[in-house]
């Protein structure tokens, strides 16, 4: 059963009721390889979209985002919505529509419904360029700026701002229209604030930087010529106590926001702001959990809240935030170790699995499945180290060289890595002409998944064969930088953090495909594997910066998985009908939660569990550290194994989690399996079961339990 669909199918429109940058972590120049940075051969893709359609010419000379929160604004007509908390935003025909979305939900999915609450446009547009309603003039980690030249508008779309902010030039007449009816309309004496009540129970506030004359009819508001700043905010629940807060913070507006890794396991947000007074932004539940009041000069407004599919968004006042996560130590071997009496059973399986390694027998040319086979073999080398049976390592090393070298040297017959200049990144040979090949890798889908498996193999091979590691260091860093570059635009070959979303604090996998529900990610565990593997590569190369960055991103990805993908009984984050039926989200979208997978229906719960656990690694213990949740998840999944045709490989992952709280029963089940996932082995499952300690039913939160260097971090 393949793990991803052969072609990314766009999300169906909601129906009711159905369902930029030096390569990352530059080393100190004294040990920089002579051919650093390495670039794979340049290639021209026939399937990639044209970035110049919506991106300003000044941005095109640098690598461009391919998985960002505003990606829909760069694709096709640029008119699919994006979720910029708390609003859904849609741009078309040189106007911008905003929706404060309500949710539609049942036991299978939840999605936010785009209803055009307000549309802002110029009353007399100049000749708009057909098919080009907006230009992205700049972007940053936390914001994107949309210009509408024919309307004299510039929208500062800053994530988590309760206000939509627009700079208007040229003494332009404005129209604000709605599909609802305007029930009442009033202004302040100064004509710098208007209150608009609609017949859908919404109240919207319009603020202006100088007096503006607005008049209205049943469904539209018009102005005389105006230049200056307009800010629009919905009043949550039409509650007057919120209105005083919005009034107070209406005159300070953010125009962009950046996130930076300031020290180990710390992420700092800083906004560039204009106007006067303090800055009000909104934090999602994971922000609130990680927000360090010791390190940030912030005030949390606990009872100022907006609704969101990601949980309540809460007001935070302050120009910068510091987010801190518990340290996660990245280890080659199991966290608790294995008792010596268990070595024999593992070694017996290890000898058989290593005997089965044969690079000439590999038939796949897929970058994803090939990467899994490399990582699967590399696991065997580390398990051999851990059980002190080093006799098999030369065979594994030979297999790893035979499988990895051709991809790094460009001599692999069926496929290979190439460099695309148009967006700035690695593509595959098969993906140059077929957007569905390699699960869309050629259109920047799933990069962290595929490359994470390669990095795992490279890290292990560089560990057991340091001379090989030195020889291929530049290629290894190039693969890593494709999705983990930290630099910002100038003279780089890769965009900044291709997959990782620094506001949501997890990765997206969707690439350059337009989706009605925004970006999506299915397998959080493969995302964790990518950053974990990069950190292991840092260990192999003695690069402390890479270790720190990979560990930090892995820690954030784990927090996000536990927050949004792991569905806890009785949790209030999602609707009751969805939470009652699901212990895991299948595919998480910017604006939707789906119980189905790309490759399997909701009833195949073993696939849902497996795709959120594989590959099974030492860090899987941290990802599934909440033993009480694991027990409920396994009990929820086990009945699905009675279905006819359930794959043995998927069963193996269910039993692995069962082993966290019931080693003996899980061990018996694992020994009776007659097949394994193509990225897994009997050796790896036995290693996992025998490295379970006596688990306490506690989670990772608040523990130095998974870090031996926590004391030194903050």
Just list the catalytic residues.
446, 522, 526
Helices (H), 216-333: 240-248, 285-290
- Give the DSSP H/E element, type plus range, for residue 654: helix 648-658
Measuring CA to CA, which residue among 386, 492, 564 is closest to residue 24?
Answer: 492
Q: Which residues contact 390 (CB under 8 A, 6 or more apart)?
A: 384
Rounded distance, CA 172 to CA 123, Å? Answer: 8
Q: Which two tokens stand for residue 584?
A: 């895991």
Determine contact, residues 581/595, Cβ cutoff 8 Å: yes
Q: Are 585 and 594 in contact (CB under 8 A)?
A: yes
For residue 156, give the nearest of 261, 262, 252, 247 by alpha carbon: 252
C-alpha–C-alpha distance, residues 146 and 120, integer Å: 13
Q: Which of 606, 674, 602 is nearest to 639 (CA)?
A: 606
**Other beta carbons less than 10 A from residue 9's beta carbon:** 11
How many Å separate Cα 601 from the centre of its chain?
23
- 164's tokens: 């939509």
What does DSSP say about strands 118-122 and 506-507: parallel, antiparallel, or unpaired? unpaired
Residue 400 and residue 457 in contact, taking contact as beta carbons nearer than 8 Å: yes
Burial 53-86 (b: 16+ CB within 10 A, else e): ebbeeebeebbbbbbbbbbbbbbeebbbbbbbbb
Q: Alpha-carbon distance 444 to 477, whole Å?
A: 18
Say how far apart CA 41 and CA 382 lie, in whole Å.
Answer: 32
CB 39 within 8 A of CB 63: no
Q: Which two tokens stand for residue 713?
A: 């971090």
Three-state DSSP state, 560: helix
Q: Cα–Cα distance between 279 and 295 in angstroms, integer?
A: 17
Helices (H), 356-416: 367-386, 393-409
Q: Distance between CA 607 and CA 601 in Å, rounded?
A: 9
Give the span between the Cα atoms of 365 and 417, in whole angstroms: 12
Using alpha carbons, list the distances in angstroms from residue 429 to 6, 282, 330, 415, 437.
16, 43, 33, 5, 9
Q: Report the SS3 class of residue 377.
A: helix
Give the Cα-Cα-Cα angle 521, 525, 529 (nearest 5 degrees). 110
Backbone angles phi, psi at 132, to 5 degrees: -135, 80
What CA–CA distance (Å, rounded) separates 265 from 711?
Answer: 12
Q: How many residues does the chain have?
A: 714
| Phi/psi of residue 458, nearest 5 degrees | -65, -45
Residue 376 burial (10 A CB sphere; 0-12, 13-18, 19+): buried
| Eight-state DSSP code of residue 583 | S
DSSP 236: G
Check: CB of residue 499 under 8 Å from CB of residue 509.
Answer: yes
Question: What is the 8-class DSSP label of residue 192?
Answer: S
**Nearest CA among 450, 578, 552 for reference residue 511:** 450
């Amino acid at each position: 059963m393949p793990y991803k669909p052969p072609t990314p199918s766009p999300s169906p429109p909601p129906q009711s009721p159905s369902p930029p940058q030096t390569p990352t972590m530059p080393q100190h120049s004294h040990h920089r390889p002579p051919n650093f940075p390495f670039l794979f051969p340049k290639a021209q893709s026939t399937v990639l979209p044209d970035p110049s359609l919506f991106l300003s010419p000044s941005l095109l000379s640098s690598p461009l985002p391919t998985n960002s929160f505003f990606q829909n604004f760069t694709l096709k007509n640029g008119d699919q919505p994006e979720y910029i908390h708390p609003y859904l935003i849609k741009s078309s025909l040189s106007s911008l529509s905003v929706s404060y979305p309500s949710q539609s939900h049942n036991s299978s999915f939840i999605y936010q419904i785009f209803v055009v609450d307000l549309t802002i446009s110029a009353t007399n547009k100049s000749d708009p360029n057909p098919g080009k309603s907006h230009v992205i003039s700049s972007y940053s980690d936390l914001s994107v700026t949309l210009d509408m030249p024919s309307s004299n508008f510039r929208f500062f779309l800053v994530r988590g701002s309760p206000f939509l902010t627009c700079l208007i030039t040229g003494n332009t007449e404005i129209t604000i229209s709605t599909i609802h009816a305007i029930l009442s309309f009033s202004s302040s004496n100064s004509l710098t604030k208007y209150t608009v009540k609609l017949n859908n129970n919404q109240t919207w506030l319009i603020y202006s930087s100088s007096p503006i004359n607005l008049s209205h009819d049943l469904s539209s508001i018009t102005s005389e010529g105006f230049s200056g700043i307009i800010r629009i905010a919905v009043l949550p629940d039409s509650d007057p106590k919120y209105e005083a807060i919005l009034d107070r913070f209406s005159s300070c507006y953010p125009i962009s926001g950046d996130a930076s890794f300031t020290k180990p396991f710390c992420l700092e947000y800083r906004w560039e702001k204009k106007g006067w007074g303090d800055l009000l932004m909104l934090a999602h539940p994971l922000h609130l959990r990680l927000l360090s009041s010791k390190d940030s000069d912030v005030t949390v407004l606990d009872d100022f809240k907006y609704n969101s599919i990601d949980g309540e968004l809460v007001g935070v006042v302050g120009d910068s935030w510091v987010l801190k996560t518990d340290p996660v130590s990245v280890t080659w071997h199991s966290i608790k170790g294995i008792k010596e009496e268990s070595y024999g059973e593992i070694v017996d399986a290890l000898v058989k699995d290593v005997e089965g390694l044969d690079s000439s027998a590999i038939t796949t040319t897929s970058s994803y499945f090939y990467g899994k086979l490399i990582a699967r073999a590399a696991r065997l080398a580390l398990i051999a180290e851990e059980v002190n049976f080093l006799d098999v390592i030369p065979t594994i090393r030979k297999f790893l060289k035979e499988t990895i070298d051709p991809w790094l040297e460009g001599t692999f017959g069926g496929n290979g890595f190439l460099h695309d200049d148009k967006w700035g990144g690695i593509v595959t040979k098969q993906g140059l002409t077929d957007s569905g090949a390699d699960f869309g890798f050629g259109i920047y889908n799933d990069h962290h998944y595929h490359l994470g498996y390669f990095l795992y193999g490279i890290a292990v091979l560089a560990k057991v064969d340091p001379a090989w590691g030195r020889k291929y260091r530049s290629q290894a860093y190039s693969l890593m930088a494709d999705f983990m570059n930290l630099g910002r635009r100038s003279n780089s070959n890769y965009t900044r953090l291709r997959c990782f979303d620094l506001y949501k604090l997890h990765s997206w996998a969707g690439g350059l495909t337009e989706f009605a529900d925004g970006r999506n990610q299915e397998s959080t565990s493969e995302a964790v594997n990518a950053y974990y593997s990069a950190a292991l590569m840092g260990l192999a190369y003695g690069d402390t910066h890479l270790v720190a960055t990979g560990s930090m991103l892995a820690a954030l990805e784990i927090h996000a998985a536990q927050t949004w993908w792991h569905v806890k009984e009785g949790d209030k984050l999602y609707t009751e009908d969805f939470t009652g039926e699901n212990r895991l989200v299948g595919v998480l979208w910017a604006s939707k939660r789906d119980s189905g997978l790309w490759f399997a229906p909701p009833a195949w719960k073993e696939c849902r569990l497996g795709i959120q656990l594989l590959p099974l690694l030492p860090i899987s213990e941290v990802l599934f550290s909440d033993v009480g949740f694991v027990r409920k998840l396994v009990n929820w999944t086990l009945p699905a194994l009675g279905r006819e045709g359930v794959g043995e490989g998927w069963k193996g992952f269910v039993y692995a989690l069962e082993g966290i709280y019931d080693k003996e029963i899980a061990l018996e089940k694992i020994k009776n399996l007659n097949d394994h996932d193509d990225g897994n082995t009997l050796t790896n499952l036995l290693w996992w079961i025998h490295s379970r300690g006596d688990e306490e039913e506690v989670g990772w939160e608040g523990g130095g339990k998974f870090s031996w260097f926590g004391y030194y971090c903050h």
